[in-house]
Amino acid sequence: ETGVTQSPTHLIKTRGQQVTLRCSSQSGHNTVSWYQQALGQGPQFIFQYYREEENGRGNFPPRFSGLQFPNYSSELNVNALELDDSALYLCASSGHGQGIGETQYFGPGTRLLVL
C-alpha cells in the first residue's frame, strides 16, 4: 500500500509569484485535505476535496485554490505569494469525504519559502 506523497519537498519563491504543490493520495482514498503549518504552529485547514469537488474551506483567501483529479491526486495553487505564505504545506488523504471521524493520513509536506 502506497502512502501519501507530496512534491516537491522544498521550494523557494519570491513575493508575487505563483506556486503549485502536488499530492498523491493513499491507495483507495477519495478525499484530500490541505493544511498550512507555519513555523511553531499547529496545522491550519485550507480546504478539502471529495470526488473532485471542494468539500469545505478554511479561512484562507481566494488566491489559495485547488484541484482534485479523477485518480484523486490533488494540487494546491497559491497566487500572488506573500511572505506570510512561507510554511510547511501538508496534504492528507482519507477514505470518505463525509467522515467526520475519519482518520486522515498525512504526507511528508512541502516546505515553501517566500523571499
Contact footprint for other proteins (CB under 8 A): 4, 31, 33, 35, 40-45, 48, 50, 55-56, 58, 90, 92, 94, 96-109
| CA dist., res. 65 & res. 75, Å (int) | 8
For other proteins, which is the closer residue by CB, 4 or 76? 4
C-alpha cell at 15: 513575493
Instruction: Write down the least CB distance from residue 102 to other proteins, Å.
Output: 5
Distance in angstroms (rounded) separating the CA atoms of residues 82 and 79 = 9
The nearer residue to other proteins, 14 or 27, going by C-beta atoms, is 27
Task: Name the residue nearer to other proteins (CB basis): 25 or 31.
Answer: 31
Return d(Cα 21, Cα 110) in angstroms, integer.
7
Cβ proximity to other proteins: between 40 and 70 the closer is: 40
Q: What separation, in Å, do the N-terminal and C-terminal C-alpha atoms of the chain show?
A: 38
3-class SS of residue 64: strand
Distance of closest approach, residue 23 Cβ to other proteins, in angstroms: 11
Hey, CA dihedral for 4, 47, 97, 74, is it positive or negative?
negative
Q: How far is the CB of 29 from other proteins (least distance, A)?
A: 12
Q: How far is the CB of 52 from other proteins (least distance, A)?
A: 15
